[in-house]
Amino acid sequence: MVELKDVSVTYSSGVDALEHINLKINDGDFVFVVGASGAGKSTLIKLLLKEIDATSGTVTVNGYQLGHLKKRQIPELRRTIGIVFQDFRLISKMTVYENIAFVLRVIDAPRKYIRKRVPYVISLVGLQAKANSYPTELSGGEMQRVAIARALVNDPALIIADEPTGNIDPELSYEIVDLLRSINMQGTTVMMVTHEHELVRRFGGRIINITEGQIVFDDIMEGSDDEFLEELEISRISENLENPENLYHES
């Protein structure tokens, strides 16, 4: 759960990046955050990760009141959040499998768990055939799937996707949003930051618009293209029927 109560952020330069933000994202929600460049979207993400502090107001993320969080608790907070970046940020010398396993190794997860968990999240994003490939051998869409699997491997309560479709062909962008939505349907809260209005319009759902540091719109809009979404759904279901391990049940 994410809750901001009357939150403002003023950078030391004097720029008011966020002003009196009130926002609640419940567990299990899927939200799009939209806004022009410079609107305050990155500042919002940095706040949630406690990379910066609010100048005033209170921020609560996954049960942590960030104003009261001790420095040593920050890694604990961040483990409850999975992040997906526009530029994927995969390690080029590591295979798909290793890129994902790495996240669990740094937190000393038991080897047995890693051997079970990593193939599972790889199957969730449909990349079983690419587990031993290197990032350079993948398409942009596939690289983003790896990044999503990596964000998921820790079983975070919240996934923040920061312009995840920014470096991907438009057709594949829909698949990435669809994948994030299917992950959301399994219970993970998803916050997707984007400036691609067409994408948002097509999918619909809860849309939060930040303009010049303020929330100017926060409401649910219907998707514009139900037929398109139905097709996407049907293709995903048929794909899962061909690959039953994709049906989200951990063996």
Residues that bind ligand ADP (CB under 6 A): 11, 13, 15, 17, 35, 37-43
DSSP 68: G
Which is nearer to ligand ADP, 87 or 230 (by Cβ)? 87
CA–CA separation, 176 and 103 (whole Å): 21
The neighbour count for residue 91, using CB atoms within 10 Å, is 12
The neighbour count for residue 49, using CB atoms within 10 Å, is 16
Least distance between ligand ADP and beta carbon 53 (Å) = 13
Which is nearer to ligand ADP, 34 or 146 (by Cβ)? 34
How many helices, marked H, and strands, marked E, lie in the chain?
8, 10
Which is nearer to ligand ADP, 12 or 251 (by Cβ)? 12
Least distance between ligand ADP and beta carbon 44 (Å) = 7
Least distance between ligand ADP and beta carbon 39 (Å) = 4
Crossing angle for the helix pair 96-106 and 140-152, nearest 10 degrees? 20
Least distance between ligand ADP and beta carbon 34 (Å) = 10
What is the three-class DSSP state of 214? strand
Which is nearer to ligand ADP, 45 or 127 (by Cβ)? 45
DSSP 128: G
